[in-house]
A and B are shown apart, each in its own frame.
Chain A
Amino acid sequence: MGPFVPDLISDQLNLVVALLLGIAFGFVLEQAGFSSSRKLAGVFYGYDFTVLRVFFTAAVTAMSGVVLLGALGLLDTDVIYVNPTWLLPAIVGGAIMGVGFVLGGYCPGTSVCAAAIGKVDAMFFVGGGLLGVLIFGELFPLYEGFYHSTDLGAITVFQSLGISQGVFAFALIVVAVAAFAITTRIERKVDPNGAPSLQFPVGSHRAAAAGVLLLGVVFLILPDRKTALVERFSDPQYIAAHPTAVMPVDELAFRIVDNEPNIRIIDIRSANAFTAAALPNAVNARIRDFFGKDWIPLLSPRHVKKVIVGENEQEERTAVLLLQDLGYENCTALEGGYGAFDRAILHPTGPVSTGSRWDADVNTFRAGARVDILKKIEESKHAVKVVKTAKKIQGGC
């Protein structure tokens, strides 16, 4: 499962990968004509829409790949770098760059590519870029507050629009195809004899447009794998039809008191509830964490019984079903959830009748277990409980 950094590819090797990917990037940019400032500037004057065609096609291709690989479970989209949004700085910075694009006729990537084939104006652009960063750095205190303002975090565009990923991907493809068709007409009007689009084989372009629209329709019906699995196992009917192992509270209490090494308590309640009160040596997790690679070492040993502790048994059984589906064995829910354990063992309101002739023994056991487990909880508070959480990959310029 991708990405391969940092687990399969080390930081050092990653630099070699960067060089190779950069070579491919530079080669394609140059072949596309991005080493020509007149071609690039054409997008703003209507005589050459190459920039829009290449840029939009590349964005749609890469986005489609990310969505498809994510849906197939081949790419862990929860750890890849999603550019964080600083709303106002992004708008102001984009506006400054927009003026720079019209004045300079390049953007940084294309200027490097154009300088490589001898374009003198591109060399001036790169020099200007260095100067610009220096000016920004020297005057940084003037706008440091603004630079850090309106920090919205790594939000996705479809979340902020309140629609699903599939609907957004479909809409983007429709917009792209429409933009290609409209700009081709504009281009031919502005320059009836020399428009680059006059060279196009029209038939194959129409076929490509139909194909990419079809792909868009696939996105509409393609569910996100993680969400789909969690939803399926959250369905009460599905849970009722698929019983899972359930551990009684007294058994868990006994195993904790017994210092049994081969149990692992995984608490899926919220971080707040977990911090407020949790079982000894429990680890806290969100259900979606189980998809990640970081949990494999903890979940995969078969001889260790994984006890899932949640707010209620329903939620625990969802987690157990998901873990089983992901290939982890020896997982069990806790009877009645954390609340039942708390009421029976940790903070009972009084002796409880279980209806059997062993009532006295049960109550004796629970009283002893309470003292022992509360002591263990106190001790484990000082220990580090957090499992290595999914490490976000650092990226960006």
Chain B
Amino acid sequence: MNTKYMNPYLAGVLLGLVLLATIFITGRGLGASGAIKSLVVFAVDGVAPAHAERSDFYGTYVGPGKDSPLKSWLVFEVAGVLIGGFISGLVSDRLKVVTESGPRIRPRARWFFAATGGALFGIGAQFARGCTSGAALSGMAVLSAAGFITMLAIFGTGYAVAYVFRRLWI
């Protein structure tokens, strides 16, 4: 029973080694938003295949002769994140259905803002071709200019608007 979090620098080194192993073995980085995109493309293709194939956005991933959008590297990797997170929660005794929020906000409002934040990430990650993991972290590891630009844009904007939304967290 250990509910304490790992030393952040140790966790950072381990996370860096996981990313390095990914690059060394597969030649590509880690990601997350790509799997969310694959799920959406899969759903749209299932509900309205003609619409999906006509679209310049979904059409890149679906169509005759193409594998299912779910058969992608990131979908399997994110399935692993779910499993890995669950195992970690299990061994550190942190499995609990709970809503986490700042001291001045009710759970319902927290849910609304969490969903809104998720939606903004869903949109932003398409423009930036990846989120904090796929574009910023993995991009920085291979010294890609995009990785550093996206990282600065995410955290810079975060600090710029943090004061406006302070009631959500402090």
In the assembled complex, which residues on chain A have CB atoms less than 8 Å from the CB atom of B23? 2-3, 62, 65-66, 75, 80
Chain B 133-165 against A: per-residue CB contact (8 Å), 1 yes, 0 no?
Answer: 111111111111111111111111111111001
A residues 246-299 near B (Cβ < 8 Å) are none
B114 close to A2 (CB less than 8 A)? no
In the assembled complex, which residues on chain B have CB atoms less than 8 Å from the CB atom of A45? 162, 166, 169-170
B residues 89-126 near A (Cβ < 8 Å) are 89, 92, 94-102, 107, 110-126
Q: Which residue of B lies closest to A6 (CB)?
A: B27
B6 close to A31 (CB less than 8 A)? yes
In the assembled complex, which residues on chain B have CB atoms less than 8 Å from the CB atom of A87? 149
B124 close to A38 (CB less than 8 A)? no
Chain A 6-35 against B: per-residue CB contact (8 Å), 1 yes, 0 no?
Answer: 000100001111111111111111111101
The answer to whether the Cβ of A238 comes within 8 Å of any Cβ in the partner chain is: no
Q: Which residue of B lies closest to A176 (CB)?
A: B12
- When the two chains form the complex, which single residue of A63, A101, A134 contacts B140, counting CB atoms closer than 8 Å? A63
Given contacts A98-B160, A157-B148, contact A128 B119 (CB under 8 A): yes
A81 close to B121 (CB less than 8 A)? no
The answer to whether the Cβ of A198 comes within 8 Å of any Cβ in the partner chain is: no
Q: For the complex, give the distance between the alpha carbons of A87 and B123 in Å.
A: 16
B157 close to A94 (CB less than 8 A)? yes
A26 close to B80 (CB less than 8 A)? yes
A107 close to B80 (CB less than 8 A)? no
- When the two chains form the complex, which single residue of A25, A94, A129, A135 contacts B150, counting CB atoms closer than 8 Å? A94
In the assembled complex, which residues on chain B have CB atoms less than 8 Å from the CB atom of A144? 56-57
A90 close to B153 (CB less than 8 A)? yes
Closest 4 CB pairs of A and B: A104-B117, A22-B80, A132-B122, A94-B153
> Shortest beta-carbon distance, B68 to chain A, in Å?
12
The answer to whether the Cβ of B1 comes within 8 Å of any Cβ in the partner chain is: no
> Shortest beta-carbon distance, A108 to chain B, in Å?
4
A122 close to B114 (CB less than 8 A)? yes
A interface, how many residues as a size bin?
A: 35 or more
Given contacts A23-B83, A59-B137, contact A100 B153 (CB under 8 A): no
Q: B interface, by DSSP: helix, strand, loop or mixed?
A: helix
- Most chain-B Cβ atoms within 10 A of its Cβ — which of A62, A114, A121, A127? A62
In the assembled complex, which residues on chain A have CB atoms less than 8 Å from the CB atom of B17? 61-62, 65
The answer to whether the Cβ of A124 comes within 8 Å of any Cβ in the partner chain is: yes
The answer to whether the Cβ of A113 comes within 8 Å of any Cβ in the partner chain is: yes
A117 close to B89 (CB less than 8 A)? yes
The answer to whether the Cβ of A358 comes within 8 Å of any Cβ in the partner chain is: no
> Shortest beta-carbon distance, B36 to chain A, in Å?
5
The answer to whether the Cβ of A328 comes within 8 Å of any Cβ in the partner chain is: no
Q: For the complex, give the distance between the alpha carbons of A339 and B74 in Å.
A: 51
> Shortest beta-carbon distance, A383 to chain B, in Å?
29
Q: For the complex, give the distance between the alpha carbons of A345 and B143 in Å.
A: 48
Given contacts A26-B81, A116-B86, contact A55 B137 (CB under 8 A): yes
A9 close to B36 (CB less than 8 A)? no
The answer to whether the Cβ of A96 comes within 8 Å of any Cβ in the partner chain is: yes
Q: For the complex, give the distance between the alpha carbons of A165 and B82 in Å.
A: 35
Q: For the complex, give the distance between the alpha carbons of A20 and B18 in Å.
A: 10
In the assembled complex, which residues on chain A have CB atoms less than 8 Å from the CB atom of B170? 45, 47
Chain A 143-164 against B: per-residue CB contact (8 Å), 1 yes, 0 no?
Answer: 0100100001011111110000
- When the two chains form the complex, which single residue of B25, B98, B118, B147 contacts A83, counting CB atoms closer than 8 Å? B147
A133 close to B122 (CB less than 8 A)? yes
Q: Which residue of B lies closest to A97 (CB)?
A: B124
Q: Which residue of B lies closest to A22 (CB)?
A: B80
Given contacts A21-B18, A393-B28, contact A108 B36 (CB under 8 A): yes
B95 close to A118 (CB less than 8 A)? yes
A57 close to B94 (CB less than 8 A)? no
The answer to whether the Cβ of B65 comes within 8 Å of any Cβ in the partner chain is: no
The answer to whether the Cβ of A178 comes within 8 Å of any Cβ in the partner chain is: no
Chain B 1-33 against A: per-residue CB contact (8 Å), 1 yes, 0 no?
Answer: 000011111011111111111111111111111
In the assembled complex, which residues on chain A have CB atoms less than 8 Å from the CB atom of B166? 45
A397 close to B145 (CB less than 8 A)? no
- Most chain-B Cβ atoms within 10 A of its Cβ — which of A47, A127, A133, A135? A133
Q: Which residue of B lies closest to A41 (CB)?
A: B169
B36 close to A126 (CB less than 8 A)? yes
A18 close to B128 (CB less than 8 A)? no
The answer to whether the Cβ of A223 comes within 8 Å of any Cβ in the partner chain is: no
A residues 76-133 near B (Cβ < 8 Å) are 77, 79-87, 89-122, 124-133
- When the two chains form the complex, which single residue of A23, A60, A110, A129 contacts B80, counting CB atoms closer than 8 Å? A23
